[in-house]
Amino acid sequence: MALTIHVKQEFSMKSVTLTASALAIAVAAPAFAQSRENVQVAGSSTVLPYASIVAEAFGENTDFPTPVVESGGSSAGLARFCEGVGENSIDIANASRAIRDGEVETCAENGVEEIIEVRIGYDGIVFASQQSGPEFTAFEPSDWFSALAAEIPQDGEMVSNPNSTWADVNGDLPDVEISAFIPGTKHGTREVFEENVLLQGCEDTGAYDQMVEAGMSEDDAESACMAVRTDGASVDIDGDYTETLARIESNPDGIGVFGLAFYENNTDTLKVATMGGVEPSTETIASGEYPVSRPLFFYIKKAHIGVIPGLKEFASFFVSDEIAGPGGPLANYGLVPDPELADTQSKIENETTLGDEQS
């Protein structure tokens, strides 16, 4: 027998239908109660709406309290996650990138020695602007490098970026001032943007090769490729995508970097550009055709399983077929389901940690 629930959160309202098998995941009672009853989650603003949908469904359909889900960015969430073990630290960190080796080391130094990595699916990074704004309809990575690079090679030397309009970058683009709103450095989206767009564009223009030929090391050339200008043409957004949207709404010529799901839930105000000739969609991301996509994760503190009521049950509920699979509420919101979801489910069931995977 299926149960229909309505999930309300700040991003949208979704109708979620769960079968008894999904609900059965979370009926077990915790081994013992602690003074903190709620699962606590923080991190990526990209993963935030998905986690919020699941948390509310979990609270409504199980005997466990609704988990507390906060944003803050992938890096900030992982930093909180790695602060230590105990009820005063969070149980789960959401991330739009994989945890770094340095973060794993910091976790271990603070007693967080067993971490379970959970991949929930995939998302794309899109480039969107006002519906009534300039015709930003097609980009290449080289356009974004040429527009946002702090310095570019010229006659064997590195010079400050001279481009002030998009038409300076590419004659096919609108002749309006460059005004880009990109994720701040604490967001996992920023890392994907730097590597898949700026670095790729740097290589495509030949700038990377010119830097190396001029005497830069490969590492220094990569860093130069991903360094963003600070003269106002590019603005870092430290908040979530709603802040980026607000900046676009107040700047008709602005263009912002968003997650696919956020864009798809705001098509009444935003239009999206292709990248590399491919329009972003769940289909082009699932096929790998769209060039700017990434997996999304959350990380579980294994030491809290069995101590914080509902932690393992919430994680299993999150990646159940009915929630994270095709046709589920997360896919309806914009998540591209992971074809290896069954492996992820087994990983949670068996409490397989990062160290177990690598051994």
- 146 & 285 share domain: yes
Look up the domain containing 135 and give its range: 124-293
CA distances from 41 to 67, 83, 120, 162, 177 (A): 7, 14, 15, 43, 40
Indicate whether 70 and 180 sit together in one domain: no
Note whether residue 52 is domain-resident. Answer: yes
pLDDT given at position 26: 42
Contacts of 225 (CB under 8 A, 6+ apart): 145, 149, 198, 199, 201, 202, 203, 207, 208, 211
> Would the pLDDT of 31 be above 90?
no
pLDDT, tens digit, for every residue of 40-49?
A: 999 998 899 9
CB atoms within 10 A of CB 49: 26
* In a domain? residue 53: yes
Instruction: Note the pLDDT of residue 357.
Output: 67
pLDDT of residue 190: 87
Query: Model pTM?
Result: 0.71
pLDDT for 11: 38
Res. 204: pLDDT tops 70: yes
Q: Are residues 157 and 282 in the same domain?
A: yes
pLDDT in tens, 164-195: 999 999 999 999 999 999 999 888 788 889 98
Listed range (29-33, 40-44, 212-216) with the worst mean pLDDT: 29-33
Are residues 194 and 83 part of one domain? no
- Let me know whether 282 and 309 are in one domain: no
- Helix runs in 281-328, H state only: 282-287, 311-318, 321-324
Domain boundary among 253, 275, 293: 293
The answer, yes or no, to whether residue 240 has pLDDT greater than 80, is: yes
The residue ranking higher by pLDDT, 239 or 244, is 244
Angstrom CA distances, 223 to 149, 213, 220, 292, stand at 11, 15, 5, 19
Same domain, 171 and 261: yes
Residue 294 is predicted with a pLDDT of: 85
Rounded to an integer, what distance in angstroms lies between the CA atom of residue 312 and that of residue 261? 26
- What percent of the residues of the chain are helix, what percent strand, and what percent coil, each to the nearest 5? 40, 25, 40
| 300 and 243 inside one domain | no
Q: Based on the fold, state whether residues 131 and 273 are members of the same structural domain.
A: yes
Q: Which of the four pLDDT bands, split at 50, 70 and 90, describes residue 149?
A: very high
Shared-domain flag, residues 44 and 134: no
Last residue of a domain, one of 255, 278, 293: 293
Number of domains in the chain: 2
How do residues 85-134 score in pLDDT, each as one tens digit? 999 999 999 998 899 999 999 999 999 999 999 999 998 899 999 999 99
Q: What is the pLDDT of residue 322?
A: 96
Query: pLDDT digits over 318-347, tens only?
Result: 999 999 999 899 988 888 899 899 999 999
